[in-house]
C-alpha cells in the first residue's frame, strides 16, 4: 500500500478534471416489504 502511495507521487493521474464524481442513479431504490423497527433485530437478509 505504501508503495502504491509513493508511486502516485511520481506518476500523477492526469485528465481527471472532466470526470463527474456524482453518484449514478440508474437503478431504482428497491422496495421494502416492511419497515423493521428498532426492536426487530437481528434481521435476516436473503437475496434470491
Measure Cα distances from 45 to 13, 33, 42 in Å. 39, 12, 10
- 46: pLDDT strictly greater than 80: yes
Q: What is the band of 45 on the pLDDT scale with cuts at 50, 70, 90?
A: confident
- 43: pLDDT strictly greater than 80: no
Q: What is the pLDDT of residues 12-39, one digit of tens each?
A: 777 777 888 888 778 888 888 888 777 8
The confidence score (pLDDT) of residue 35 equals 82
Amino acid at each position: 500500500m505504501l508503495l502504491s502511495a509513493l508511486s502516485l507521487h511520481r506518476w500523477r493521474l492526469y485528465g481527471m478534471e472532466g470526470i463527474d464524481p456524482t453518484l449514478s442513479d440508474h437503478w431504482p431504490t428497491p422496495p421494502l416489504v416492511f419497515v423493521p423497527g428498532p426492536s426487530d433485530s437481528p434481521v435476516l437478509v436473503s437475496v434470491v
